[in-house]
Amino acid sequence: MTNPALNHVLAKFSSSPWAMTPEGAMAWAMTFRLEAPVARDPAKNFLGDTLPQMTVQNGIAIVPVQGPLIHGAGFLDKGFGAMAHADIADMLDDAIEDSSVTGILLNVRSPGGTVAGTGSLGAKIAAIKKPVASFCDYTGASAAYWLMSQCDQIFCTTGAMIGSIGTLLQVTSIAQLLAANGISVETFASGNLKAAGSAVKPMEPQEREYFQNLIDANAAQFKSAVTAKRPTVNEDSMRGQVFTAEAAVSNGIADQLVSGLTEAVQLLSARGTNKTVSGAQAKTFPGLVSAALARGLSRCDAVASVKKSHPKAHADWLAQGGGQLDGNPNLVEIGREEIAAENQTLKFQDIVAANVGKGMKKPDAVAAAIKSNRTQWEIWKQTGGRL
């Protein structure tokens, strides 16, 4: 039988919307089937292990974001591995006020948590003046990703699972079980939605609509926060699914693969006190070049490295007109001739690709592109372009 002291925790699963993966929610809920003594030390769990605390390495404050994230979590919740939004906020305040801290890194290992408290904590992260990034080598999902998305940059390792942009609410009904045992419960409520979600009665259609609208509204807030910082993230990537680290970097959910926490700390430390470009900007070709320069690469090496590692970002930038990189004080000029030549090359290749997409065979597609865009074809040949 469950310890009565756990009842307030169990109640949260049926009364609050969650931004957490279903697997994470189920695993955490199943914990409470076991008897456990009440924790005596709020800084330790039931095994006596110290709960996660902020540490500082090379001027970088590493703030843990681990386990289920629960608004108003108490010592009992924390004893089972949860974290309170307020505790994370307190650690962020300590890092902000510490003059020796030049940057902040969220170390994330969390399946998500309550919607309540996540939006305000995310806004706090977005407003931090010092460089702030997040790192994940395990799971950074749902509410945890909401927080990650508000950072300037997201680092992750191969094997990490990132994303799960969305919200859920699970409602349990034991009405049929009660009826099978000859037990009936009458519910008196002041409105047709007052008893919505009651476990002792079947759910009515208007109640389902009510809960779905509630969850959709929560999800809209989540998506809005993500796209405000990362406008390149599209709707298809925000259907509640998680991504591998590689896929997350590819679709703009994350920014860069790293070997581990040490490398993430080094990359953030290299930026000094300069606020890095936002996550959305970091995915553009100029933003990626800026990040490479911050890591100590020369101009030529930075450009070459980014062109090789992020060909799509380079192609997208050229397709939008390219141009100089000196509009950003953190960037340097690449060179007008290179940009112009590569831009024309890309345009001709795009025309050919578009013709192929219309059903033309490749030779016909090339011939049609030459006929309609001979000048670009000439420039493409001069710059050594190949199809």
Task: For 164-173, write each residue's pLDDT tens digit.
Answer: 999 999 999 9
Cα–Cα distance, 376 to 238 (Å, whole number): 38
Q: 225 and 98, same structural domain?
A: yes
In a domain, 294, yes or no: yes
Domain CATH for 37: 3.90.226.10
Stronger pLDDT, 9 or 247, i.e. the higher one: 247
The helix (H) or strand (E) run that includes residue 177 is helix 175-180
Is residue 239 assigned to a domain? Answer: yes
What is this structure's pTM?
0.66
Residue 27 placed within a domain: yes
Residue 160 covered by a domain: yes
**Strands 153-156 and 132-141: what pairing?**
parallel
Same domain, 143 and 241: yes
Reported as half-sphere exposure (CB side, CA atoms, 13 A), residue 358 has a value of 12
Residues 86 and 110 both lie in one domain: yes
Q: According to the model, what pLDDT value does residue 62 have?
A: 98
Full residue range of the structural domain in which residue 183 is found? 175-214
Domain co-membership, 201 together with 226: no
Q: Do 70 and 44 lie in a common domain? A: yes
Q: Are residues 206 and 159 in the same domain?
A: no
228 in the same domain as 88: yes
Q: How far is Cα 385 from Cα 387, in angstroms, rounded to an integer?
A: 7
CA–CA distance, 315 with 186 (Å, rounded to integer): 65
Closest by alpha carbon to 224, among 126, 158, 297, 134? 126
Indicate if 310 and 239 belong to the same structural domain. Answer: no
226 within domain boundaries:
yes
**Secondary structure string (H, E, C) spanning 31-100:** HCCCCCCCCCCCCECCCCCECCCCEEECCEEEEEEECCEECCCCHHHHHCCCEEHHHHHHHHHHHHHCCC
Is residue 91 situated within a structural domain? yes
> At residue 205, what is the residue type?
P
Closest CA to 284 of 309, 322, 310, 313: 313
Number of residues that make up the chain:
387
Q: Same domain for 180 and 248?
A: no
Q: How far is residue 93's CA from residue 201's CA, in Å, rounded to a whole number?
A: 46
Report whether pLDDT(335) > 60.
no
* Same-domain status, 93 and 193: no
Secondary structure of residue 133 in the 3-state scheme? strand
What's the domain count of the chain? 3
| Residue in this structure with the two tokens 């490398």, named with its chain if needed | 263
**pLDDT at residue 38, rounded to an integer:** 41
pLDDT tens readout for residues 90-147: 999 999 999 999 999 999 999 999 999 999 999 999 999 999 999 999 999 999 999 9
Q: Are 290 and 337 members of one domain?
A: yes
Q: Which residue has the higher pLDDT, 71 or 43?
A: 71
What average pLDDT does this structure show over 362-367? Answer: 81
β-strand partners of 69: 83, 113
Mean pLDDT of the chain: 80
Shared domain check, 224 and 195: no
**Poorest-confidence range of 22-26, 116-120, 347-351?**
22-26
Q: Is residue 39 part of a domain?
A: yes
CB 104 within 8 A of CB 129: no
> C-alpha angle 355/361/363, rounded to 5°?
90
Give domain status of residue 347, yes or no.
yes
